[in-house]
Amino acid sequence: MISSTVLFYGNYVLCLCLGLLCVVFVSYWNTEWRGGFAWDASFLQFNWHPVLMVTGLVVLYGNAAILYRIPFTWSQRKQRWKLVHAALLLSSLFLSILGLCAVFDFHTGYHIPNLYSLHSWVGICTVVLFTAQWVLGLVGFLSPCSPLGFRKLLKPVHAWMGMAIFILSLASCLSGINEKLLLALNSTAAYSSHPAEALFANFLGVLIVAFGLVVLGILSNQRWKRLEPGQESSRVIVTRDMMTDMQCFYSIIV
């Protein structure tokens, strides 16, 4: 029977592969069919928007969310992994804001209204919530002045909000892909004729959904949740056993 640790690492490798494919696909789409990239308020600048949003708001965010689920981190001090978690999320937030700058700058250059579509509403709400979540997490979990009672109160809210933001990120990217295809192909009729670009971008959407499902599956599995001090008696974590599981996993994939 495959152990819980081996099963986790199987899902984790799948998550990494799907995330990498998402970045490769969105980059190739905007290079092959949309003309590449620039930062000059042109259509080429807009192409940064989907790349930065998928990379930051979905892939980096998803990997930051499951960081505490990695069994390797359980036997180590949590503080260092809090810093890694915060750094990954800050990188994700930076790329997301840069992606918004790309599209707003493009709209300004071509006198296109901002925030008129459902995609833009969901997207801007996602980034605003993400910013508030990161600042609150910094104050609540990394500040030495934060009271223990406040941390305990904040923790379940922080975890729930983190999953909610990730789901909103998925919805934003999927609706954005669909909106971009309809605008780029000029009509529903052109979209429905199954051009290569539409098929490729649709498959990108499927990859994003698959990545999101794997991340949410990891987050929802209580066996892969890091225990807090005082809870270790309910699950003994032994480094030697984890190494045995990893050797078993390595033998399976090799």
Confidence class for position 219, pLDDT limits 50, 70, 90 = very high
pLDDT at 244: 55
202-234 burial by CB neighbour count: b if 16+ within 10 A, else e?
eebbebbebbbebbbebbeeeebbbeeeeeeee
Mean pLDDT of 126-134: 98
Mean pLDDT of 155-183: 96
Mean pLDDT of 54-58: 98
Confidence class for position 233, pLDDT limits 50, 70, 90 = very low
User: CA angle, corner 61, sides to 142 and 123, nearest 5?
Assistant: 110
C-alpha span between 82 and 214 (Å, rounded): 22
Does the pLDDT of residue 211 top 90, yes or no?
Answer: yes
Does the pLDDT of residue 33 top 90, yes or no?
Answer: yes
- Kindly give, in sequence order, each residue whose CB lies less than 8 Å from that of residue 168, ignoring residues fewer than 6 positions away: 122, 125, 126, 129
Provide the CB-side half-sphere exposure for 14 (13 A, CA).
17
Where exactly are the structural domains of the chain? 4-253
Q: Which CATH number fits domain 4-253: 3.40.50.800, 3.40.50.10260, 3.30.930.10, 1.20.120.1770?
A: 1.20.120.1770
pLDDT at 245: 53
Residue 189, token pair as written in the block: 């009729």
Q: Is the pTM of this model over 0.75?
A: yes
Please say whether the beta carbons of 66 and 94 come within 8 A.
Answer: no
